[in-house]
Amino acid sequence: MTNLINKKLLSIVTLMTLFTGLTLYSCSKSTYQEEKLVNIKEPSFDYSLEFNDIDVMDSDSLYYELAFDMTGIDNLDMSIKIDDNLYDSIIITDIDSSIQILSGYIPLNPDGIDINVSFIHNDIILSNQDHTIPALRDIEVLTFTNKGNNKYFNSLFKDSKIINNKNIIYDKFKKYDFANTEVIIIDDLDILSEKMIVQLQNFLLNEGSIFVLMNQNIIENNKLFYSLGYPKVKAIRGSSKNQFFSMIDQGFLKKYSFHSKDLINNSELYRYFELKDSQEEFSKIMISTNDPLLLEKEVLGGKIFFLTTKIDSDWSNNSFNLVLKDIFNRVLFQRLLTDES
């Protein structure tokens, strides 16, 4: 009788042990499957597509750059349409979860173009992006200088098919005609006559743009604070090429040029105009001292830009001259965006 009871107890214990083992195995398998599912990433396509817009100032084509990261997608079709017509279709394959760079050029025409870039996977549009290039047209520019032959401005717009620049030696007794002018460059003028100030005010009232490369005649230039919005200068900072200041773009160039970043990193400023007020709300490019290098103001309905250094080897290096070209192209590209005839 005792043996029979013991056999029944042993059977019950064995069944319970077996059931517990099966339960633990089932839980372990379930947990492993859940962990496996967690580790499987959902298919994704992340990208950044940028266009180098200021290329259009000197080029017949528009440069673009695509940075992308694909996960769990074996292939992708990049479709480029110009004015609703298919221009190109690029198949992206064999890339998985690693950032890649793809670049190319899109042809331009004088009438402007609408660009649409779509990313398609298995006939499904994952994303698309629109971009517009305004009509290319002549922009009339007048550059006023005290110098008889300014090599910098003679060469600055030489290759441009858009900019018609005329260099003028400033005469304070002369009255100028700005009727067909869109941009006026004031290069390092120490004084402006009352007649010229009134003409520039009228030019701004007609939505013109002025670019001022400031002069170190601090007293005379500070007098233009009320009439033309000139920033008041406190002092000239810097004196030696052994010490230089770097620059920080506030997004003024980044959106429109891929090359300016490297140029800015290689540029050196030795001197600049320190302003009495920070005027941070107008600053587009800063100096490492937290002083503005480029200001953009709306004055009397127009725009006026101020550069707080000079085109001079004692004030900046050659790399900065290339940055300045990008700055001018950015300002002139704004004129294209106004779509004026």
Pick from 99, 45, 54, 53: which is nearest to 76 by CA?
Answer: 45
Query: What's the token pair of residue 7?
Result: 């056999």
Report whether pLDDT(26) > 80.
Answer: no
Beta-bridge partners for 210: 184, 304
Q: Is the pLDDT reported for residue 32 higher than 50?
A: no
The values of phi and psi at residue 211, to 5°, are: -120, 125
DSSP at 41: P
Residue 207 token pair: 């939505």
Same domain, 95 and 154: no
Question: Would you say residue 199 lies in a domain?
Answer: yes
Does residue 181 or residue 3 have the better pLDDT? 181
pTM over 0.85: no
Same domain, 185 and 307: yes
How many structural domains compose the chain? Answer: 2
Q: pLDDT digits over 230-241, tens only?
A: 999 999 988 777
In the chain, pLDDT over 70 holds for what percent of residues?
Answer: 84
DSSP single-letter state for residue 317: -
Please name the amino acid found at residue 222.
N
- Segment 43-101, tens digit of pLDDT: 777 888 989 888 888 888 889 988 888 777 778 889 999 999 999 888 887 665 567 88
Helix (H) or strand (E) holding 249: strand 247-249
Of 133, 161, 194, the residue at which a domain comes to its end is 133
Q: Assign residue 236 the CATH number of its domain.
A: 3.40.50.880
Residue 205 φ then ψ, to 5°: -60, -25
The full length of the chain comes to 341
> Which of 88, 112, 133 finishes a domain?
133
Q: What is the mean pLDDT of residues 102-118?
A: 89
Residue with tokens 């089932």, as numbered in its chain: 26
What range does the domain containing 193 cover? 139-337
In this structure, the strands spanning 183-187 and 139-145 are: parallel
